[in-house]
Amino acid sequence: MSQSIVENFASLASLVPDEIITHSLVKDVVLPGGATIALLTLDNGYDHSKPTTLGPNTLLELHATLTAQKERAAAGEIAALALIGKPHYLVAGADLNGVKNLASQENGSAMASLGHAAYDLLADLGVPTFAFINGVALGGGLEIALACTYRTVSTGANGIGLPEAFIGLVPGWGGVYRLPRLTGPEAAMTVMIENPLNNNRSLNGPAAFKLGIADAIFEPADFLEQSLLWTDSVLGGAEVSRPNAVEPLGNPEVTARWAAAAAKARAFIEAKTSNAAPAPAKVLEVFEAGATITQKESAALEIAALTGLMQTDAFHNTVYAFLDLVQKRSKRPAGAPDKKLARPVTKVGVVGAGLMAGQLALLFAKNLKVPVVITDIDAARVEKGLAHIHGEVDKQLAKGRISSSAANRTKALVTGSVSKEAFADADFVIEAVFEELGVKKQVFAEVEAVVSPECILATNTSSLSVTEMGKDLTHPERLVGFHFFNPVAQMPLLEIVRAQETDETALATAFVLGKALRKTSVLVKDEAAFVVNRILLRLMGEIAKAFDDGTDAVTADGALRSMGLPMTPFTLLAMVGIPVAHHVSESLHAAFGERFHVSENYARLIENGITSLWVPTEAGGQEIPASTMELLSFGNTPSTAEELLVRTQDALAQEIGLMLAEGVVAGPEDIDLCMVMGAGWPMHLGGITPYLDAVGASERANGKKFHQN
C-alpha cells in the first residue's frame, strides 16, 4: 500500500476500533486452460450470522491486497483476479455501526474517498477482474462487483441491490455511475430508487442476471467451480453478451432514455416521500449528471453527496431506525419467550379461502415448506381460493423469483377442503374470516372440536379482542393473535398478540413461526387495534374531524405532507376502504372514547356506496365529485394546514403516551419498529417517537420526551 494512503486514512480507521474486519484472503488458482488467477475471498472469520461489511480498516486491507495483486499482474504472475465472499455473502455493504462514528465532514469525505481508492484498483488492475456474487451484495457489496470487469451470480443469491436511498445515502462508490451502463437507465432506477423506497426490496440471483448485472448465472452447489470454468472461457476469448448495456456519452438516444428514467423516478419519489427525504433526490441528481460526465467526475459528485448526507439529521435518524430498530431490536423481540418452548409445526390450517387467507396459505407453504390446507363453506370458494394461490405462484415463476421446481412444490403443498376435519393433524391453525367477533368465536369452536390438544390457534384480527375470542374455548391458553399486514408477502411486520390466557408455549411457537416466515415480530398486549392500526386511526381521525369541521379537502389531506408519509390520509382511506376504516373507528371510539372521531360524513358515503373521496380528473389530478359533496355536511371551524399538523402531532404523542402507560408494548422503540415495518413510517424521520420529540409534540402532550438522550 502506498504510504500516502496509509497516512491519509490511518486516523479514519482509528475512529472505528471495534470494527469486525472483513479480511482479503488471496490464493492462486490454476485454470484448466493454464492461466493462473488470484482468487480473493472476503471473509470476517465468522459464520453466516455475522455478515461481512466494509469499514475503514477493511477497505485499507483491501487496498493493500489489491495493490500487491496489481504489481503481480504487471509482472505477469497472474492473468486475472476473481473476487468471492464467504458462504451466503459477497459483502453486505458498509459497516453502518462504524459509519455513524464518522460524524465530521472531513471523516465522511475520507470514508467516501477510501472506498473509491480501493475500488478503482479493481477497475484498473491491469488484468481482467471477476466478481462471483455468491450471496448478499448490498450497497458497497454490489458496487465492489460492479467495479470488476465481469460478474457471475448464484441462483441461490438473495439480497442484491443498492439500498442507499432507503438508508439516507447515495451509492457512493461508483454504483450510481456503473449500474445504469450495465442494465440500462430504467432498470437502474428500479434498483436505486423504486426498490429502496418499496420497503427496501432487493433482487435475487435470477433477477439480477435478467437485468444484466451479472454476465453468467450458476447453481449454488458448484457455483465457484462453474464460475472458474466460465472465467477460463472468457480469458480464452469467449464472447460475453451484454444486451442491456448502454453508453450515454455521445449517444442522444440513450441520453433521452436517461432523462425519461429520471423523470419517472422523480414522480415516484414525490409520490412516496413528498420530497421530504433528501437522499432519493440526491441519488437522482448524481444519476442524471452521470449521463454526461466521466466516471472520475461522477466519483467527485458521489463523494460530495455522501459527505453532505452523512451530516444530515435525516441520515442519523435513519441509522437509528435501520440499525437500532430493524437490524437489532427486531432480532431480539422484547418479551418473547425462550424459543425452546415452541412446538414444531409440520402442518398448517387456514380458515377461509378469500384473498387474505390465500396470502397466508402461500406465505406458510413457501417459507415453512409444510402442508397447508385451506377451508371454506363450499367447494366453489375453496377451488377459487386454490386457483388464486396457484396464479400467484405462476406470477412469481414468470418474474424469475422462484424456480419451476419450487413453484410445483409450493402448489402441491397447498390443498383445500370444505370440512374442518382436515385440520385434525395440524399443529397451527389461523383464521382469516370476516372481522366480526361472533363469526370468529364460532370458527374457533368448530376448529377446537377437531384439532389435537397441542394445536396452536391463531387469529389474524386487526382490531378485535383476542381474549374475548377465546372466552368460550376449552383451552384459551393456546390462542394467540397473529396479525399480518396487507399485502402479506411485502409488509414485514407481524404483531403477535398475547391475550389474558395465552401461555408461553403458544407465544413461543408464534415467535418461532414469525421468524421462519421472515417477519419482524413484535409482542403486543391485547388492547383494541394493537399498535399500528390504533396510531393510524388516531391520525386519520384527526384529519377526518378537521374535514368534517369545515377544513377544505386539499388542506386536510395535505397537512401532513412535511412528514413524508408513504400516502396521504385520504389515499390511505381509499386503500383501507371507507367501510373498514369507519368500522374500526367505531370500535376504537367504543374502547377509548372521544379521542377517536367517528365521521358522520363517512357513514353517509357508506350508505351511498362511495368508497373513496378523491377521484382522478382528466388533467391527471384528483377531486371530490360534486355529487359526493352534496351528501356531506360541514361545520364552520376550519383549520389551517399548520394548525392541523400540530394538532395531529400532539394527538399522536398523546395516544402513544397512553399506549406505553397501558403496557401495549415494552417501550417506545417497539412503537417505532411497528410503525416503520407495518406502516412505512419514513426512515429519515427515525421513528415516530423521535420525530414527536423533535417537533415538541411529546412535551406538549405528555410533559416529557419519549427519549431522554
Summarize pLDDT for 440-459 with one digit per residue, the tens: 999 999 999 999 999 999 99
Classify 15 as helix, strand or coil: coil
Q: Is 323 a residue whose pLDDT tops 90?
A: no
Do both 507 and 587 map to the same domain?
Answer: no
Look over the chain and give the mean of its residue pLDDT values, rounded to a whole number: 94
| pLDDT band (50, 70, 90) for residue 100 | confident
**Per the domain annotation, does 193 fall within a domain?**
yes
Spatial separation of the C-alpha atoms in residues 687 and 704, rounded to whole Å = 17
CB 427 within 8 A of CB 453: no
CB 351 within 8 A of CB 431: yes
Do both 51 and 91 map to the same domain?
Answer: yes
Do both 61 and 17 map to the same domain?
Answer: yes
Q: Is 124 a residue whose pLDDT tops 50?
A: yes
CB 637 within 8 A of CB 550: yes
320: closest CA among 694, 686, 678? 686
Given 492, 526, 560, the domain boundary residue is 526
Which residue shows C-alpha cell 415516530? 688
Residue 629's identity, in one-letter code, is M
Do both 173 and 50 map to the same domain?
Answer: yes
Spatial separation of the C-alpha atoms in residues 631 and 605, rounded to whole Å = 7
Question: 431 is written with which cell numbers?
Answer: 383464521
**Per the domain annotation, does 336 fall within a domain?**
no
Do both 549 and 678 map to the same domain?
Answer: yes
Three-state helix/strand/coil letters over 478-516: HEEEEEECCCCCCCCEEEEEECCCCCHHHHHHHHHHHHH
**Per the domain annotation, does 348 fall within a domain?**
yes
Return the DSSP state at 622: E
Among 323-332, 497-506, 602-611, the range scoring the smallest mean pLDDT is: 323-332
Q: Which long-range contacts (CB under 8 A, 24 or more apart) does 384-389 make?
A: 384/353, 385/352, 385/353, 385/354, 385/357, 385/358, 385/361, 385/416, 386/353, 386/414, 386/415, 386/416, 388/355, 388/358, 389/358, 389/361, 389/362, 389/414
Which residue shows C-alpha cell 397473529? 482
CB 702 within 8 A of CB 654: yes
432: closest CA among 360, 345, 527, 519? 360
Do both 586 and 672 map to the same domain?
Answer: yes
Q: Is 612 a residue whose pLDDT tops 90?
A: no
Q: Is 3 a residue whose pLDDT tops 50?
A: no
Given 289, 324, 359, the domain boundary residue is 324
Classify 215 as helix, strand or coil: coil
* Tally of domains in the chain: 3
**Per the domain annotation, does 29 fall within a domain?**
yes
Query: Which residues are paired to 521 by β-bridges?
Result: 494
Q: Which of 104-113, 206-215, 675-684 has the highest mean pLDDT?
A: 206-215
| pLDDT band (50, 70, 90) for residue 539 | very high
pLDDT for 103: 65
Burial 29-53 (b: 16+ CB within 10 A, else e): bebeeebebbbbbbbbeeeeeebbb
| pLDDT band (50, 70, 90) for residue 8 | low
Q: Is 102 a residue whose pLDDT tops 80?
A: no
* DSSP-assigned letters across all residues of 548-575: HTT--HHHHHHTTGGG--SS-HHHHHHH
Burial level of 612, CB count in 10 A (0-12/13-18/19+)? middle
Q: Is 302 a residue whose pLDDT tops 90?
A: yes
pLDDT for 1: 39
Do both 670 and 539 map to the same domain?
Answer: yes
Q: Is 237 a residue whose pLDDT tops 70?
A: yes
Q: Is 97 a residue whose pLDDT tops 80?
A: no
Given 473, 498, 526, the domain boundary residue is 526
Which residue shows C-alpha cell 384459551? 476
**Per the domain annotation, does 709 fall within a domain?**
no
**Per the domain annotation, does 333 fall within a domain?**
no
Do both 348 and 317 map to the same domain?
Answer: no
| pLDDT band (50, 70, 90) for residue 599 | very high
**Per the domain annotation, does 332 fall within a domain?**
no
* DSSP-assigned letters across all residues of 343-362: PP-S-EEEE--SHHHHHHHH
* DSSP-assigned letters across all residues of 71-107: HHHHTTS-SEEEEEESTTEEE--B-HHHHTT--SHHH
Choice between 620 and 227, residue whose per-residue pLDDT is larger: 227
**Per the domain annotation, does 258 fall within a domain?**
yes
Helix-strand-coil split of the chain, %, nearest 5: 55, 10, 35
CB atoms within 10 A of CB 598: 18
Q: Which domain, by its residues, includes 141?
A: 3-324
612: closest CA among 684, 557, 550, 694? 557
- pTM for the model stands at 0.86
Tell me, what CATH number does 178's domain have? 3.90.226.10
Tell me, what CATH number does 536's domain have? 1.10.1040.50
| pLDDT band (50, 70, 90) for residue 6 | low
Spatial separation of the C-alpha atoms in residues 497 and 481, rounded to whole Å = 4
| pLDDT band (50, 70, 90) for residue 2 | very low
Do both 553 and 521 map to the same domain?
Answer: no
Spatial separation of the C-alpha atoms in residues 617 and 627, rounded to whole Å = 15
**Residues near 603 by beta carbon (within 8 Å), at least 6 away in sequence:** 582
Q: How far is CA 240 from CA 30, 224, 535, in A?
A: 22, 18, 53
Mean pLDDT of 528-544: 96
Do both 510 and 577 map to the same domain?
Answer: no
Do both 463 and 538 map to the same domain?
Answer: no
Output the CA torsion sign for 450, 455, 460, 461. positive
Tell me, what CATH number does 427's domain have? 3.40.50.720
pLDDT for 5: 55
Do both 291 and 383 map to the same domain?
Answer: no
